[in-house]
Structure 1
Amino acid sequence: MTLVVVTGAGGFVGAHLVHALKSSQPTVRVRGVDVRPPAYGPSEADEFVHADLREPDRCAAALAGADQVFALAANMGGIGWTHAAPAEILRDNLLISVNTVEACRRAAVGTVVYTSSACVYPNSLQRRPDSAPLREDPVFPADPDMEYGWEKLTTEILCGTFRRTYDMDIKIARLHAVYGPLGAYSGLRAKSLSMLCGKVAAVPGRSGEIEVWGDGTQTRSYCYIDDCVTGLLRLARSTVDQPVNIGSEERISIADLVGRIAAIAGKEIVPRYRPDKPVGPLGRVSDNALCRHLLGWQPATSLDDGLRRTYGWIAEHLASARTGEEAQR
């Protein structure tokens, strides 16, 4: 059987990717690799290897025998985490990425899919809420978003160099704000959409106030997890040898996002904006023209549909957690 290894299989995107591989490709054997297990249940992988990929030997052993590798492992989180731990993020992710690419080279892995990020794009292109959607080509002169973006861009260069030098089949997906069930919705590692869903769901009754970082005018485009996974699988099967965006072109301001979440929740929510908190780029939206052309891919899930599914999961999970806490009292 074909052996597919998913690094970062304990994380949000990794867990969904493992599920999709097992559901759609019964002839493959999936090995999940991560330093920790999935947060919301056991992994669906045929085998799950606990390994710290910052250690070269552990990384090589975890990838041994792989025919295909999805390299998702990273020390990552929301904007709170990227501001709280920049040195840790840069150090850990450089080690993970270099070890993974080198291990794939030594193991003669057939196909490698590396998940990069929209954080590689220059800050100069994202300074207004109405900034133009981000195409794949303008990444130089380099000015990525914080240390996380610098590491992602550096690894893109590493992948391109290994592709040319060693004739490796390495593909690069630049993910844009992926969200959905099973994602963190509280703490520094939570991303903005899930964090806001969690805050609204935690409001008791039908009205209340939540804290929102920034002034609400910053804009984003959010890609639902099922669409992201479909894009990654299609990229893996393709002959594409250049970075492609995997994101949504549906722009929304944070203020409007709060309003939509509140409407789905059936609550009256008053945002308490915090302009003193980190907000990241003021406008970040994916341009999917290249991905449509090369892969025939574009998101199939509207933001409203994705929000309903995500908010429903978060609200249910919060309610279950409360019930469990009450039962222990």
Structure 2
Amino acid sequence: MMRTVVTGAGGFIGSHLVPYLQRHGCRVRGVDLKYPEFTETTADEFVLADLRQPDAAAEVLAGADVVFALAANMGGIGWTHAAPAEIMHDNLLISTNTVEACRRSATSTLVYTSSACVYPGYLQNRPDAPALREADVFPADPDMEYGWEKLTTEILCDSFRAAHGMDIKIARLHAIYGPWGCYEGLRAKSLSMLCGKVARLPSTGGEIEVWGDGQQTRSYCYVDDCVEGLWRLSRSSAPAPINLGSIERVTIADLVSRIAHTAGKSVTFRYLPDKPVGPLGRSSDNDLCQATLGWAPRTSLADGLRHTYEWIERDVTGTRDLVRGGA
């Protein structure tokens, strides 16, 4: 069995990736500062470790054939504005220690999860901005400190690939969502947070706050597509970063309307234009993903949103199932 390590296995995407890899014949060691919040881990081994410490990273990554590097101090736009220095500090340490530990251990393949936040703000300054292509990343103007760290680590990976002959794959994730994701507090991402707000309304409906004016656009990628893409990327010969995202773009106002329709509730929105909203328009160009992997994310927003809202509603009402949260 392929010896596989998933860092960040206690997080949202990691919780989905671990069982996916096991279904594909991998023996998985999960690594994180904490166990998963919303489900029981299925990892063959789960190690609590702080990857900001070089010795800890070296120990947990030793002997791995493949490493999926998901560990990061991250959250939604509320968190990136609340803790920029902490995010930059922690993630630079985690990423550097992970890449160096893989080099020392002669890991066969490292899959690093970057972010759409690496793309320049000047390409995302209107709701109908063109979809982002992988080659668009320079001249650099990433999204806050989180984006700068991700782009810096991409450059680090390129340097280690060239200097040490390492097989390093890079996935640029675009707004991943689904069951088992945080849906309240500063670390919650927009889609899940909005689902949580609607789920907490009474059955008759009510009013929720929405950051911005509702006209900003996003493309949301369902978590099942994300983990399949990471697996396919790990087995590919892709030498350059690849987008893992959806091409289906939606305004935030339309997204909230879809959530209300899914919930069967009458919802009014109170927009807060003084709150941070990030880029005005962000979506994924999947041409390179399709050409390189022979595949691209395909779950519709309607299907993914239904699965996600149903899970969040069950969690809010205390009726969720710990065994399986997704479709």
TM-score in terms of structure 1 length:
0.96
Report the counterpart of residue 325 of structure 2 in structure 1. Answer: none
Report the counterpart of residue 263 of structure 2 in structure 1. Answer: 265
Report the counterpart of residue 108 of structure 1 in structure 2. Answer: 106
Report the counterpart of residue 36 of structure 2 in structure 1. Answer: 38
Give the conservation status (yes or no) of the 8 Å contact 2:174–2:244.
yes
- Quote the offset at 1:215 in angstroms: 0.3
Report the counterpart of residue 89 of structure 2 in structure 1. Answer: 91
Q: Give the whole-Å Cα distance in 1 for the aligned partners of 2:164 and 2:248.
A: 38
Q: Spell out the pairing of 1:39-54 with structure 2 (5 A cutoff).
A: 39-54=37-52
Q: Does 2:157 align with 1:155?
A: no
Q: Give the whole-Å Cα distance in 2 for the aligned partners of 1:73 and 1:152.
A: 12
- Quote the offset at 1:141 in angstroms: 1.2
Q: Secondary structure at the match of 2:318?
A: helix
Q: Give the whole-Å Cα distance in 2 for the aligned partners of 1:269 and 1:297.
A: 37
- Quote the offset at 1:22 in angstroms: 1.4
Give the conservation status (yes or no) of the 8 Å contact 2:76–2:190.
yes
Report the counterpart of residue 319 of structure 1 in structure 2. Answer: 317
Report the counterpart of residue 5 of structure 1 in structure 2. Answer: 5
Report the counterpart of residue 81 of structure 1 in structure 2. Answer: 79
Residues 105-158 of structure 1: CA deviation (Å, up to 9, x unaligned): 000000000000000000000000000000000111110000000000000000
Amino acid at match of 2:19: H
- Quote the offset at 1:321 in angstroms: 7.0
Q: Give the whole-Å Cα distance in 1 for the aligned partners of 2:241 and 2:173.
A: 10
Q: Give the whole-Å Cα distance in 2 for the aligned partners of 1:145 and 1:201.
A: 30
Report the counterpart of residue 227 of structure 1 in structure 2. Answer: 225
Amino acid at match of 1:61: E
- Quote the offset at 1:24 in angstroms: 2.7
Report the counterpart of residue 184 of structure 1 in structure 2. Answer: 182
Amino acid at match of 1:238: S
Q: Give the whole-Å Cα distance in 2 for the aligned partners of 1:49 and 1:3.
A: 15
- Quote the offset at 1:23 in angstroms: 2.0
Q: Give the whole-Å Cα distance in 2 for the aligned partners of 1:188 and 1:321.
A: 24
Amino acid at match of 2:183: Y
Q: Give the whole-Å Cα distance in 2 for the aligned partners of 1:153 and 1:214.
A: 26
Report the counterpart of residue 324 of structure 2 in structure 1. Answer: none
Q: Give the whole-Å Cα distance in 1 for the aligned partners of 2:172 and 2:233.
A: 11
Report the counterpart of residue 60 of structure 1 in structure 2. Answer: 58
Q: Give the whole-Å Cα distance in 2 for the aligned partners of 1:24 and 1:59.
A: 25
Q: Give the whole-Å Cα distance in 1 for the aligned partners of 2:146 and 2:294.
A: 29
Report the counterpart of residue 24 of structure 1 in structure 2. Answer: 24
Q: Give the whole-Å Cα distance in 1 for the aligned partners of 2:39 and 2:203.
A: 29
TM-score in terms of structure 2 length:
0.97
Report the counterpart of residue 288 of structure 2 in structure 1. Answer: 290
Report the counterpart of residue 300 of structure 2 in structure 1. Answer: 302
Q: Secondary structure at the match of 1:283?
A: coil
How many corresponding residue pairs? Answer: 320
RMSD over equivalenced CA pairs, Å = 0.9
Residues 261-306 of structure 1: CA deviation (Å, up to 9, x unaligned): 0000000110100000000000000000000001012122100000
> Where does structure 1 lack aligned partners over 5 or more consecutive residues?
323-329
Q: Give the whole-Å Cα distance in 2 for the aligned partners of 1:136 and 1:243.
A: 7
Amino acid at match of 1:185: Y
Give the conservation status (yes or no) of the 8 Å contact 2:183–2:196.
yes
Q: Give the whole-Å Cα distance in 1 for the aligned partners of 2:306 and 2:23.
A: 23
Q: Give the whole-Å Cα distance in 2 for the aligned partners of 1:257 and 1:12.
A: 21
Report the counterpart of residue 326 of structure 1 in structure 2. Answer: none
Report the counterpart of residue 166 of structure 1 in structure 2. Answer: 164
Residues 87-109 of structure 1: CA deviation (Å, up to 9, x unaligned): 00000000000000000000000
Give the conservation status (yes or no) of the 8 Å contact 2:54–2:97.
yes
Amino acid at match of 2:3: L
Q: Give the whole-Å Cα distance in 2 for the aligned partners of 1:121 and 1:2.
A: 34
Q: Give the whole-Å Cα distance in 1 for the aligned partners of 2:39 and 2:173.
A: 24
